[in-house]
Amino acid sequence: MTDIIADLVIHNGKIVSPDSVIEASIAIKDGQVLAIGAASAMPSATETFDASGLHLLPGAIDDHVHFRDPGYPHKEDWESGTAAAAFGGVTCVFDMPNTIPPTGTKEVLAAKHAIAASKAHVDFGLYGLLGDDTIAHVPDLIEGGVIGFKLYMGNTFGKIPSPDTGATLECFEVAAATGKRVSLHAENNDIMERRQKRLMAAGKKDQWAHLAARPNVVAVEAVSRAATLAEWTGARIHVLHISTAEELRPLREAKARGVDITGETCPHYLMLSTDDYDRVPGVIAVNPPVREAVNQELIWQALLDGAIDVIATDHAPHTPEEKTRKDIWTVDCGFPGVETQMPLMLTAVNAGRLSISDYVRISAYNPARIWGLYPRKGALQPGSDADIAIVDLSRDHIIRDAEIQSRSKISPWDGRPVKGVPVHTLVRGRFVMKDRKLVAGTKGWGQSVHAIQAMPEPTVRNAEHSMQAIVGRQS
Ligand code: DOR
Ligand code: ZN
């Protein structure tokens, strides 16, 4: 040990894991954690950093962002999106495939990998699009390094066609054999389309009509159906953006039956409700919608008892013009969140809603585990990547849309006071955000994490009934 010289030793911080908070020093070498312990036990170091009064968290892994690149540079790109991540203590993001063109072929995937690698400040994974038109591309997309797949059961921004139930089953059969996880936009498309058409015909076009088109049953039906198909095929699925209390029943039941199903929610479903609709109409429009306050408590409970595994953001940037159109059916749904998730959740930690260890479990440890990245990611222990959010739990701050890094300067969080802010962020041992400023020269430092992903062996069920078994591969 005495001969080793660390690149960096951070002293006096409180290091947080899902089950402990310890005051210790942490030594970093070659981008990884070398040692954790008493200051006197640390090797000598090229650089030291004093984190007195601060907490060191494994950087958040946001498995649900839309960085819009390629396709919508006026909304966001990999540079602005990952700068926002760095400011939010987020050291790894998974980008959704509803870009232009959608990430559904190996060529498009390779192009997106190249763009991301040239611009990203933080590490990343890329989703491949799974739908009727891309089933045959699954082997190529895996070879090209997707982190997992995204399947749009319901339509939303980008108008990716939703596979019908037959195609969804086939998608799950194919995904099951790969062992990769499939993230689901779990809203029933038929119900939404029918209701939206009728609402439009009736001339309804305010924020409330958007909710009326997507009542809770839209989500619970889709989660139930997805759980059934996942159980049948053995596919691993991840239910994105859980917004209703009702979804928790099929989620819990499927987990109890041993289905590899995981769940995610976002700060807006925990902290905003229909009570905010008239304050920020249009701006608050998101799919699935922010719902009645009665859902919040049960979603919080599910996050704490483990039914919901992950806090992510569905970071969905749009411009003020796109968010403030008078006709709700023409408003682009979603808003930025990658930068504000951590301050909002740390505010809840300060309020006693969850512990700082709970927070690390849902923001870093669990996502790393369910995506096959643990313990390289999602942990601060020897051998882990030194992805660290250094946070000041006592710092008060007011979220201002005008100040956020995202190109999308409009969100329902504008003016909201928070307590607990990331002040420095390291990705693989390198500061990318320091003292609330982006560190020069870190553009392009981020890299794809697919190479370090190790999912468990596939657990295929009912293979003899699969489309491939009954008719052979068609393409
Ligand atoms: O509101 C949303 N916006 N929900 C989604 O599922 C997609 C997202 C987007 O890409 O803007
Ligand atoms: Zn999304």
Domain range list for the chain: 6-53, 60-380+395-404
Q: Is the dihedral of CA 62, 342, 270, 284 positive or negative?
A: negative
- pLDDT at residue 473 in the model: 62
Pseudo-torsion of CA 155, 62, 336, 119, nearest 10°?
-100
Q: Which segments of 113-235 are extended strands (E)?
A: 123-129, 148-152, 181-185
User: Tokens representing 439?
Assistant: 């560190």
Q: Are 328 and 207 in contact (CB under 8 A)?
A: yes
How far apart are alpha carbons 274 and 132 in whole angstroms? 35
Cα 238 to middle of ligand 2, angstroms: 12
Mean pLDDT, all residues of the chain:
97
Distance from Cα 429 to the centre of ligand 1, integer Å: 32
What is the rounded distance in angstroms from the CA atom of residue 334 to the CA atom of residue 355? 28
Other CB atoms within a 10 A radius of the CB of residue 220 amount to 20
What does the block give as tokens for 420? 């607990």
**Which residues 6+ apart lie within 8 Å of 62 measured at CB?**
85, 88, 90, 92, 93, 94, 312, 313, 315, 338, 341, 367
- pTM exceeding the 0.95 threshold for the entire prediction: yes
- pLDDT for 415 equals 98
Q: Which two tokens stand for residue 142?
A: 């895996």
Give the Cβ contact number of residue 459 at 10 Å: 14
Closest C-alpha to 137, from 161, 94, 102, 189: 102
Give the residue from 363, 350, 321, 359 showing the smallest Cα distance to 418: 350
Give the model's confidence band at 350: pLDDT under 50 very low, under 70 low, under 90 confident, else very high.
very high
Minimum-distance ligand 1 atom for the alpha carbon of 285: 1
Distance from C-alpha of 339 to C-alpha of 416, rounded to nearest angstrom = 13
pLDDT in tens, 403-414: 999 999 999 999
Rounded distance from Cα 472 to ligand 2 centre (Å):
33
Identify which of 62, 129, 157, 189 to mutate to test ligand 1's pocket (most ligand atoms within 8 A of the CB).
157
Which single residue is written with the structure tokens 């389309």? 193
288 Cα: distance to centroid of ligand 1 (angstroms)? 8
Residue 31 · residue 430 · CB < 8 Å: yes
3 confidence band (pLDDT: 50, 70, 90): confident
Other Cβ atoms less than 10 A from the Cβ of 260: the count is 19
CB burial readout 415-424, b (16+ within 10 A) else e: ebebbbbbbb
Pocket of ligand 1 (CB under 6 A): 66, 98, 156-158, 185, 286-287, 314, 316, 333-334
Q: Which ligand does the CA of 154 lie closest to?
A: 1
Q: 3-state class of 58 per DSSP?
A: strand
pLDDT at 474 over 90: no
Grade residue 204 by pLDDT with cuts at 50, 70 and 90: very high
Ligand 1 atom with least separation from CA of 96: 10
Summarize pLDDT for 152-197 with one digit per residue, the tens: 999 999 889 999 999 999 999 999 999 999 999 999 999 999 999 9
Closest ligand 1 atom to Cα of 152: 6
For residue 2, what pLDDT is reported?
55
* Rounded distance from Cα 5 to ligand 2 centre (Å): 43
Residues with CB under 5 A from ligand 2 (ion): 314
Q: What is the distance, to the nearest Å, from the Cα of residue 20 to the centroid of all Cα atoms in its chain?
A: 24
Residue with CA at minimum distance from ligand 1 atom 4: 287
64's CB contacts (< 8 A; 6+ apart) are 94, 96, 183, 240, 241, 264, 266, 312, 313, 314, 315
User: CB-hemisphere CA count at 13 Å for 264?
Assistant: 27
What value does the mean pLDDT take over residues 329-358? 98
pLDDT at 209 over 80: yes
The CA 24 to ligand 1 mean position distance, Å, reads 41
Nearest ligand 1 atom, CA 318: 11
- The stretch 432-439 carries a mean pLDDT of 98
Residue whose token pair is 């990716």? 160
Least Cα distance to 68 among 92, 94, 99 occurs for 99
Confirm if 234 and 285 have CB atoms less than 8 A apart. no
In this predicted structure, the answer to whether residue 475 has a pLDDT above a threshold of 80 is no
Give the helix/strand (H/E) hosting 239: strand 236-239
Query: From the CA of 322, which ligand is nearest?
Result: 1
Mean pLDDT of 264-268: 99
Mean pLDDT of 129-138: 98
Q: Which fold has domain 6-53?
A: Urease, subunit C; domain 1 (2.30.40)
Q: Are 169 and 462 in contact (CB under 8 A)?
A: no
Q: How far does Cα 4 stand from its chain's mean position?
A: 37
Instruction: Confirm if 199 and 142 have CB atoms less than 8 A apart.
Output: no
CATH superfamily of 60-380+395-404: Metal-dependent hydrolases (3.20.20.140)
Q: What are residue 424's phi and psi, to 5 degrees?
A: -140, 145
Q: What's the average model confidence in pLDDT over 217-239? A: 98
- When pLDDT is averaged across residues 125-134 and rounded to a whole number, the result is 98
- Look at 69-78, 153-162, 171-180, 287-296 and tell me which has the smallest mean pLDDT: 153-162
* Contact (CB, 8 A) for 269 and 297: no
The answer on pLDDT for 1 being more than 80 is no
Q: Name the residue at shortest CA distance from atom 7 of ligand 1.
A: 157
Total number of residues shown for the chain: 475
Output the six-digit token pair for 229: 């198909």
CA of 93 to the centre of ligand 2 (A): 12
Contact 6, 45 (CB under 8 A): yes
CA distance 242 to 240: 6
DSSP secondary structure of 413-432: TTT-EEEEEEEEEEETTEEE
- What stretches of 272-335 show up as alpha helix (H) in DSSP? 294-305, 320-323
Rounded distance, CA 404 to CA 279, Å?
20
Do residues 454 and 372 make contact, with C-beta atoms less than 8 angstroms apart?
yes
Provide the token pair at 418: 């928070």
**β-bridge mates for residue 62, sequence order:** 93
Q: Are 28 and 429 in contact (CB under 8 A)?
A: yes
Probe target for ligand 1 pocket from 160, 287, 407, with the most ligand atoms within 8 Å of CB: 287
The 10s digit of each residue's pLDDT in 33-48 is 999 999 999 999 999 9
CA 174 to CA 67: how far, in whole Å? 27
Give, for ligand 1, the residue of 189, 241, 243, 333 to mutate: max count of ligand atoms closer than 8 Å to Cβ.
333
